[in-house]
Amino acid sequence: MRNHQGSRTCAYTHLLSIRHQGALPFLVVPMKIIVLCTGNSCRSQMAEGLLNSFHPRIEAYSAGTQPAGEINPNAIRVMREIGLDISGGRPKTIDAFLDQPIDYVITVCGDAEENCPVFQGHVGRRMHIGFPDPADATGTEEEILNVFRQSRDDIKAKFHELFESELKAKLDARD
């Protein structure tokens, strides 16, 4: 159950905090991941969609330090090419997540890494996996789309590597 800002309701957050204390062993807790970028219009949105496709118990969100007005249409287009629809998302500020328990905070651009805010809730691990901004691409429409495709493929490869090398085992350990 999500509220209008995409964050979990207070009751669910309370259950998560109780589960983290070991009081509810039967509650299957999803792995909560925040992917942070500056504008939250390309790289972080693609990473969110990809992470959520890797495992049903991954609960990935994306946010920005200075969110754009909309998701870049080219990001939506290249994600649809691989069967993932991110058109229902929207750029959002990281502020909505600062007081929540989060397993991973992953920055995907240098500016977000340098300006990553302090989270008040529990953060399991912070990491940076950087990618060039496809929104900076110039050229013909096809050349620009190829840059977005390359970015999508790079994001998919790096995040799938993280999933296989670390996330999958942590999810299995929660069972």
Q: Using one digit for the tens of pLDDT, what is the confidence trace for 35-77?
A: 999 999 999 999 999 999 999 999 999 999 899 999 999 999 9
Strand partners, 59: 32
Decide: 108 and 135 in contact? Cβ < 8 Å: no
- pLDDT (tens digit per residue) in 143-173: 999 999 999 999 999 999 999 999 999 998 8
> Which comes out higher in pLDDT, residue 121 or 65?
65
Mean pLDDT score, 108-132: 81
Per-residue confidence band for 21, with pLDDT thresholds at 50, 70 and 90: low
Domains defined along the chain, listed by start: 10-169 (3.40.50.2300)
Between strands 58-64 and 31-37, the pairing is parallel
> Which comes out higher in pLDDT, residue 163 or 9?
163
Spatial CA neighbour of 51 closest among 132, 150, 165, 158: 158
pTM of the full predicted structure? 0.82
pLDDT above 70 (res 17): no
List, as own/partner pairs, every contact residues 47-53 make where C-beta atoms lie below 8 angstroms and the sequence separation is at least 24, other chains included: 47/106, 47/108, 47/155, 47/159, 48/86, 48/89, 49/79, 49/84, 49/85, 49/86, 49/89, 50/84, 50/155, 50/156, 50/159, 50/160, 51/159, 51/163, 53/84
Alpha carbon 15 to chain centroid distance?
22
Task: Give the Cα-Cα-Cα angle 166, 122, 117 (nearest 5 degrees).
Answer: 95
Q: Which residues are catalytic?
A: 37, 109, 116
Strand partners, 2: 8
pLDDT of residue 109: 86
Give the 3-state secondary structure of residue 63.
strand
Whole-angstrom Cα Rg for the chain: 16
pLDDT of residue 150: 98
